Amino acid sequence: MNELPFYRPQGNEIELFEHAYRHQLPLLIKGPTGCGKTRFVNHMAARLGRPVYTVSCHDDLTAADLVGRHLIGEGETFWSDGPLTRAVREGAICYLDEVVEARKDTTVVLHPLTDDRRILPIERTGEILHAPPEFMLIVSYNPGYQNLLKGLKPSTRQRFLATRFDFPESELEQQVLISETGIEASLAKRLVTLANALRALKDHDLEEAASTRLLVYTATLIEGGYAPLEACRAALVEPLSDDQETVAALMDVVEVTFGG
């Protein structure tokens, strides 16, 4: 049996996911970038023994990218399923990451799958697919990064169960770093202390907070023999800002909190 992707629960999210899957209900996961939303979905997919189709949503994502389109090959046209359609046909999990980044008209195709019909009409082929019990639709986004042009419509949001993620508590985040990278406990503690100091600056200078993902990158470099201060610069500070003054200020925090 394959080992499950590492994941440590923060609350009752595993129980909620299992209930949603069992009762064929769609799930919305809200939380900051890099806090473990995608890892959680992959963990649960493996736990339930279901394949997962992950779509990283973006400004140019269309309904056809999800559902499918006709392609031309060897002088004839043929239909090619998109990831949403494949997930429905196979009874898989379809995960739309950062769904608010997709074009507004894209989410309309999700509506028939998120009510008691659980169908996917494919207009271009005339098919109507009925989702099997094993199919599950999951979407995620970062509420803190939204603006007026990139919110999830209430009419869409209210079709989902919802749960909110945040960065783990310090002790749990340390466990994540140790498990993911093998780093010593003392270094994991210092990195988490640093991350919390940087997160306190988020509302002042940064669009995004220092994520657990970036902490894992930093720990990986340090565990591999890279100089700790330079690892913090390359994996934690530079990804947070392009502004040189902000980077310099963040490095001051690194040197005080981590460098000593």
132-151 pLDDT, tens per residue?
Answer: 999 999 999 988 665 544 67
Q: Is the dihedral of CA 1, 178, 8, 235 positive or negative?
A: negative
In a domain, 4, yes or no: no
pLDDT band at 105 (very low <50, low <70, confident <90, very high): confident
36-48 pLDDT, tens per residue?
Answer: 999 999 999 999 9
How many structural domains does the chain have?
Answer: 2
- Residue 1 is predicted with a pLDDT of 44
Domain end, chosen from 164, 183, 214, is at 164
CATH code of 87's domain: 3.40.50.300
User: DSSP class of residue 115?
Assistant: S
pLDDT band at 247 (very low <50, low <70, confident <90, very high): very high
User: What average pLDDT score do residues 31-38 get?
Assistant: 92
Domain end, chosen from 164, 183, 199, is at 164
Range of the domain at 189: 170-259
- Is residue 46 within 8 Å of residue 4, measured between CB atoms? yes
pLDDT band at 2 (very low <50, low <70, confident <90, very high): low
Domain end, chosen from 112, 130, 164, is at 164
41 plus 123 within the same structural domain: yes
- Residue 52 is predicted with a pLDDT of 97
Q: Which amino acid is at 58?
A: H
141 plus 47 within the same structural domain: yes
28 plus 76 within the same structural domain: yes
In a domain, 7, yes or no: no
154 plus 174 within the same structural domain: no
- What is the pTM (predicted TM-score) of this model? 0.89
153 plus 237 within the same structural domain: no
User: What average pLDDT score do residues 39-60 get?
Assistant: 96
User: What's the residue count for the chain?
Assistant: 260
